[in-house]
Amino acid sequence: MASPASVAGGGEDSNGCSSLIDPLLVSRTSSIGGAERKAAAGGGGGAKGKHWAAADKGERRAAKECGGEDGRRPLLFRSYRVKGSLLHPYRALIFARLIAVLLFFGWRIRHNNSDIMWFWTMSVAGDVWFGFSWLLNQLPKFNPVKTIPDLTALRQYCDLADGSYRLPGIDVFVTTADPIDEPVLYTMNCVLSILAADYPVDRSACYLSDDSGALILYEALVETAKFATLWVPFCRKHCIEPRSPESYFELEAPSYTGSAQEEFKNDSRIVHLEYDEFKVRLEALPETIRKRSDVYNSMKTDQGAPNATWMANGTQWPGTWIEPIENHRKGHHAGIVKVVLDHPIRGHNLSLKDSTGNNLNFNATDVRIPMLVYVSRGKNPNYDHNKKAGALNAQLRASALLSNAQFIINFDCDHYINNSQAFRAAICFMLDQREGDNTAFVQFPQRFDNVDPKDRYGNHNRVFFDGTMLALNGLQGPSYLGTGCMFRRLALYGIDPPYWRQDNITPEASKFGNSILLLESVLEALNQDRFATPSPVNDIFVNELEMVVSASFDKETDWGKGVGYIYDIATEDIVTGFRIHGQGWRSMYCTMEHDAFCGTAPINLTERLHQIVRWSGGSLEMFFSHNNPLIGGRRLQPLQRVSYLNMTIYPVTSLFILLYAISPVMWLIPDEVYIQRPFTRYVVYLLVIILMIHMIGWLEIKWAGITWLDYWRNEQFFMIGSTSAYPTAVLHMVVNLLTKKGIHFRVTSKQTTADTNDKFADLYEMRWVPMLIPTMVVLVANIGAIGVAIGKTAVYMGVWTIAQKRHAAMGLLFNMWVMFLLYPFALAIMGRWAKRPIILVVLLPIIFVIVALVTNGNGAAGVYVAAAAAPCSPAAKRVNDGGGKDDVWVAVDEADVSGPSGGDGVRPTLFRTYKVKGSILHPYRFLILVRLIAIVAFFAWRVRHKNRDGAWLWTMSMAGDVWFGFSWVLNQLPKLNPIKRVADLAALADRQQHGTSGGGELPGVDVFVTTVDPVDEPILYTVNSILSILAADYPVDRYACYLSDDGGTLVHYEAMVEVAKFAELWVPFCRKHCVEPRAPESYFAMKTQAYRGGVAGELMSDRRRVRREYEEFKVRIDSLFSTIRKRSDAYNRAKNGKDDGENATCMADGTHWPGTWFEPAENHRKGQHAGIVQVLLNHPTSMPRFGVAASVDNPLDFSGVDVRLPMLVYISREKRPGYNHQKKAGAMNALLRVSALLSNAPFIINFDCDHYVNNSQAFRAPMFFDATLLGLNGVQGPSYVGTGCMFRRVALYGADPPRWRPEDDDAKALGCPGRYGNSMPFINTIPAAASQERSIASLDETAAMAELEEVMACAYEDGTEWGDGVGWVYDIATEDVVTGFRLHRKGWRSMYCDMEPDAFRGTAPINLTERLYQILRWSGGSLEIGRASRCWTGAATSSST
C-alpha cells in the first residue's frame, strides 16, 4: 500500500498531533520489528508494493501543470492498478479455464456413459451451474483497482489558515435493536469513538437508533455524554488511537504520539479509573431503573394504574416499560427523539467538572463535543416496521430536521472507529474533482478484533473484503455492506447523480411524506453546498420530529422503495446499493493502512451460520423481487450487473455441492459404480479444472495482499455453509415463494459465553440446530467412505487391477478433500476438546479402522466407487403411497384419474382404488375353492362312515363341523374381491381452491361426542377428544362439535367451559406448528415429534408455555367435583334460613343446575331431569381472524394464525322414568335433531368420548368418497362399528340413495310429520339436508330454544319412526351394526378409509373381565339383530353383503 508520507501527509491536526499514519503502523503491542515495519510501509501488500502501480500519474501531472490542480477541487485520492506482470497472467488463466470448462462440458455430453444415469444428469447440471456461477464471480474481477485517500491534500484544501474548515457536515447513524443481544457497553463504546473522531465538532452529529425503545439505552447514552466530556478531550490532547476506550485500555503497551507525554501517564490513570466507574454505572442501570420505578409506582394514588418505568426526572418513559402494557411494550410504543447533547453552537450544558468530578489540564484542547441524539422510532402492531431498514430511514428523517448534513455514515452498534481519520478519508472521495460529485457512497472494509487467531470460521473474510471489493472498485464500485459506509444524502433520497439529474427538482409529499419541515430539508439538501446550520428546537419542532419517526409516516410514500433504505428484503444493504447504482451513481472502496473501523463478529458456529442464512436468504429474496439484477437498474454497467447477479444467486450452488458431498453414502453398495466413463479421464479433467481455480486464487492472493490461511479458511467455511446455511436459505426462499413469508430477521447475538478466563470461550460452545444435520451427515458419510476404502483395500488389494486401485485412490482423494474442508466443523463438534486438535488427528484413524473392520471391505471407496441404497421395503412403500400401492396392490382406476373429465365428469376423482394383484388374488381364490371342495368331500365321507357306537356324539360333532364350514363360508365369501381405497388429499385441496361445478368449498360437518358417566368415562378423556376435534384441520366455519352428556352432570358442562377457554391457546398452537396428534394428553406424552411447521425457532418456547397451561387446565378439571360441591354447599347455606329439604347443585352464577344434582331430588336425579342445550362457542365468522404478535402479556406469537374456533354445543336430553331412553342410540338421535336446528351440516361424524383425532386431516379424508355412491368394485362396503364414522345426514333420515329416490320426492317424502315428529322447524331442515347443501346454516339460538327443548323431550319420538326407519336403530344392544345394516338395506354403500398415520385413536379395556363384558354386549347385540324382524325385510339389499 501507499507509503505514509504520500498517503496521509505530514500535517498536524487541530490539537497538534503529528501525522497519524507512521505511528498507526506500529502494532498495538509495540512488538513489531524492523522487517515488519518495512513490510507494513511498502511491502507486497501495500499500494506501492511490487504488485500495484499508480494509475493516476497522468491526471496528477496534468493537474499540477494547470496550476493548483486545474483551479478546482484537488485530487484527493490515489488510484492503483495491479501490475501487468501479475494482471495479464491472471486474466489469461481465467480465459484458459473458461475454455477448459467448455471443453469439459462437451466431453461429458459426448461420453454420456454412466452406471447411474440420473446421477450423471444431476452431476452434469451441477457442473454447468458451477461453471456459470464461477464465471459470474470471475468476470467482474478483470480490473481490480485500489484507491487510497490523500489526507494531506484534504487538509491543505479544507483546513483554512484562520482555523475554520471547508469540510462538509456528517451525520453518523448507530443502530441497535436489543440491549441484551447487543450489549450496551459495545454500543456506548461505538458512540464514544464517534464523538472523539478527528473531525470538526460543529460539522458532525451522532444519532443512536434504539429499536427496542428501552430506557436503559437512553440513560446509558446520558452517562456516555457525561463521560465523553472527559474522554474526548483526553483523546484530542494525547492523540489516542483507537478512540474506543474498551479497545484502547486493552492494549498492553499503547504507543504515544501526542505532544504532552509528561502528563500522559497521570491523565491516562485518571481516565482509566473514570472509565471503570462508568462501566459500573452502565452495568447497574437495569437495577437502578427498576428500583427508581418501584419507588415512583409505590407513590401512585390509583392502585389500579399500571406499573410504569420512570425516568430520572420523575416522568414516565414513553418507550417500552419493564412491565409491558399497551403502548409501552416491545413493538408498540411512541416515537422518541431526545437531544442528549445539543449542537456545539448552542452548547450542550455539560461541563467537565459536573460530568466527571475531575479537572485535567485541557487548557489547550478543544473540549466541545458533537451533537448527540437518541432516536427510537414509533412502533405499532398494525404496521410492518421493516427491521433495520425502517430504523435507518427514521434516523434519516430525524437527522434531516436536526442537522441535515450532506453526508451520512452508518454503523452497527458493535463497531467502533479504529482510526480517528476515517471520516476525513471518506470525504476525500466525496470531494474529489474527478468522480466526487457522482459518488453516492464510500464503503470501508469490515475488520473484527474479537476473532480467534486462526479465524476458524472465516470471520475476517478477507477474500471478499480485500479481493472482491477491490475488483468491483474497478467497475461502478463496491456494493453497500451494511456498516462502515458513508452516503451522500441526496443519493439516499433517490435523487439522480448530476449527469442525469433534472433541474429544479421539487420534493413531493407523495414521495417523502407530509412533513413540511422534511420537505424543506430535502430542498435544502439539494441546494446546499457544504453545511446547514441546525434548526432551533422548540415544541413545534419536537412534534414534527416525533411525527417523522412515527410508525405510520412512511405509509403511502416512496420510503423503502425509491427513497431511503429498501424494505422487504432481509439484506437491506445490498439491495439499497443496487438501487443507487441502478440510478447511475458510483461508489468507492476506501482502504487505509490502519483499519478505519473494527467490530465484533460471531465466533460461535451456530450464530455465524444464522448470520449467513439471513445474508444468503436476503440475496435470494432480492433475485425474486423487482430489484432482480436481470431486469432492474437501468443505468447499471454490464459487469456491475453481473456482480449483483452473482450476489443474488450464489446460495443455489450449495445444492449441487451438497449432492456431491453426500454421495459417499453410496459406499453401502458392494459393487463398483462409476458416475462417468471413462472414469480416469473424467477425474483427470476434474483435477485440472479444480487446480486452475486454485492457481487463479493464488494470483488473487498476490494482488489482494492476503494470506494462504485467509484463502483456505474461506474455502472451508464455504463448504460448511454449503452443507448447512445456504441450503437452509434456499429452503426459506421456497417457503417464501409459496407462503409470502420473508426471511426471519434474527439479531445476531453479540453476547459471549460467560468465561472471564477465556476470551474465545464462545468458539468452543456447540449449539446444535437442524441446519447442522446435513453437515454432520456429509462428515459421517466421508469418514465412513474412507473407512470402507481401507477395509476394501485390505481385502482386495491382492486381486485388484491397476485401474481399480487407481479408481479407489481417486475416490479416496475426494473424501479426504471433503474431510479437510470440514475440519473446522469437526473441531466445533469437539467443543472444548478442540483446544487440543491432536485429539482429532488421533481419533480419526481409529474411526477409520473401526469402520474398516465393521464393513470388512463390503463397501466401496469414495464417491465414484460406490453403491445405491437398497429398494424401499413394502412397509415404506405403503407409508409413502398412503397405504395404497405396493407389491401386493395394483391400481384399477388409472383411466378415471387420468381421463379428461377428471373423475366422473362433474367432480374430480378424490381417491385411488387398488385391487390385489392377480398373482396373489387368483391363488387366494383358488385356495378358497379348494378348501370348500375339501369340506364338502369331508362331510360326504363322514356321512358315509357314520359311527354307530356313539351316535349322539357323532351327531353333535357332525353338526359342529357343518356349522364351522357354514360360518367359514359366510366369513370367506365377502373376501373374494378385496378393495383398498386411498384418499387423494391433493385432489381435494385443488377442488377446494379452484372449485368445480359440484361446489368448490368443503361441506359442513357436525361432530357428535357421547358420554354417560364422568366416573366410568373419565372427564380428561372427554376433554381431550373435544380439544382434538376443535383443532382438526378443517375450515372452522364448516363444522361444529356437539357433546351429549347422558348423565346430565354439571361437571361435564363446566369441563366444557374450561375446554372452550383452553382451546383459545391450544388450537392456534396446533395450527401454527402443525402439531400431531392434536389431543394434548397424547401430544405431550410423546417423547419426540417430527416438526412440520414453518417457525421451528419458536416451537420449544411455545411448547413449554402451552404445556404449562395444559397442566394447569388438568388441575382445574380434576378439581371440578370438589369445586362444584363446595360452591353448592355455600349457596345452600346462604338460603336465608329457608329449608326446603333440597340441597341443590349450583352453577357458577348461583342458579340451580337443571340436570342431575349431587344429592338427587325429584326432577334432578339420574334418569329424571330436564333437557339442556348450551352453546359454549358460537358459530365463527367466515373470514379468518388472526391473533396478535408476541408480547410480555401474550408470549405466543399468533399474528399469522387463524384463531377462530368451531362451534361447540353441550347437550343433555330430557329423561323421565316412564320412557325408554334407548341408551346411546337415543342420545345420538337427540344430537341429530338438535344439530339440525343449529347447524344442519350435510355430514355427521360420531365419536365415543375416549377417542380423539390422531390425524388432523381425518375430517377431510372421508370427503374423498362423497363423489362416488354406486358402481365401484367390491361389496357394498364395511359395516358401521360405533365410532369414528362419518354419515350423510340424509341417509340417517331414512332417505333412499339418489338412484332409488324420485327427483320430486324430497320434500313430500322426507318432510312427513308423522315420520319425524311435530317440530316444523326441524322438518323444514330436512329438504335442505336432502339437497346436500354444502354449508352450515346457523340459526338464532334464542328463537329456536323452544324447538330445541321440544326435539329433546322424551315424548317427542312417540308415534314417529325414530329408532326404526329414521336415525340410529333402537332395541338392539349393538345399535351401530344394525344402523349400518339399515342403511345398506336401503341401497346405500359405505367406504373404508385407511390413513397414515391413523385417523383416530382411543382407549380399550385391557382388563380381561371388562374386555369379556364388552364382547358379551357386542355378541348379544348381534344375536338380537338376527331375531329382529327388521333384519329380514328390505328389497334393495345387495346380495353380496
The helix (H) or strand (E) run that includes residue 389 is: helix 387-402
The rounded distance, in Å, linking the Cα atoms of 850 and 859 is: 13
The rounded distance, in Å, linking the Cα atoms of 179 and 213 is: 10
Annotated active-site residue in 573, 762, 1102, 1266: 573
CA distances in angstroms from 363 to 15, 227, 341, 367, listed in the order given:
11, 18, 22, 9
CA distances in angstroms from 387 to 55, 73, 187, 516, listed in the order given:
42, 39, 18, 26
The rounded distance, in Å, linking the Cα atoms of 1375 and 1398 is: 24
Is 1193 among the residues known to form the active site?
no
How many CA atoms lie less than 13 Å away from 525 in the CB half-sphere?
31
Cell numbers linked to 829: 463438534
The rounded distance, in Å, linking the Cα atoms of 378 and 548 is: 9
Binding-site residues from annotation: 182, 211, 387-388, 412
The rounded distance, in Å, linking the Cα atoms of 707 and 455 is: 12
The rounded distance, in Å, linking the Cα atoms of 840 and 492 is: 51
Beta bridge partners of 1173: 1211
- Measured at the CA of 599, the angle between CA 596 and CA 601, to 5 degrees, comes to 140
Q: Specify whether the CB–CB gap between 1350 and 1313 falls below 8 A.
A: no
Annotated active-site residue in 13, 115, 150, 211: 211
Placement of cell 473458461 in the chain: 98
The side-by-side arrangement of strands in the sheet containing 1039-1045 is 1172-1177, 1207-1212, 1039-1045, 1005-1011, 1243-1248, 1285-1288
H helix intervals, 945-984? 951-972
SS3 (DSSP) at 456: coil
Q: Specify whether the CB–CB gap between 1217 and 1160 falls below 8 A.
A: no
The helix (H) or strand (E) run that includes residue 485 is: strand 485-488
Q: Specify whether the CB–CB gap between 1386 and 1436 falls below 8 A.
A: yes
Strand 77-82 relative to strand 145-149, pairing: antiparallel
- Measured at the CA of 1038, the angle between CA 1035 and CA 1041, to 5 degrees, comes to 100
The rounded distance, in Å, linking the Cα atoms of 52 and 45 is: 9
Question: What are the φ and ψ backbone dihedral angles of 854, each rounded to 5 degrees?
Answer: -70, -45
What sign results for the dihedral spanned by CA atoms 1286, 1289, 1294, 1295?
Answer: negative
Binding-site residues from annotation for UDP-alpha-D-glucose: 182, 211, 387
Strand 979-983 relative to strand 911-916, pairing: antiparallel
Binding-site residues from annotation for Mn(2+): 388, 412
The helix (H) or strand (E) run that includes residue 280 is: helix 261-298
CA distances in angstroms from 712 to 458, 709, 717, listed in the order given:
9, 5, 9
For the chain, the C-alpha Rg in angstroms (whole number) is 41
Among 225, 453, 421, 245, residue whose Cα is nearest residue 340: 225
SS3 (DSSP) at 639: helix
Question: What are the φ and ψ backbone dihedral angles of 328, each rounded to 5 degrees?
Answer: -140, 45
Strand 1005-1011 relative to strand 1039-1045, pairing: parallel
What secondary structure letter does DSSP report for 668?
Answer: G
Greatest Cα-to-Cα distance within the chain, rounded to the nearest angstrom: 144
Cell numbers linked to 1114: 388438568
Is 455 among the residues known to form the active site?
no
What secondary structure letter does DSSP report for 1366?
Answer: B
The rounded distance, in Å, linking the Cα atoms of 1083 and 754 is: 36
Residue type, 700: E
Beta bridge partners of 1215: 1169
Q: List the catalytic residues.
A: 211, 573
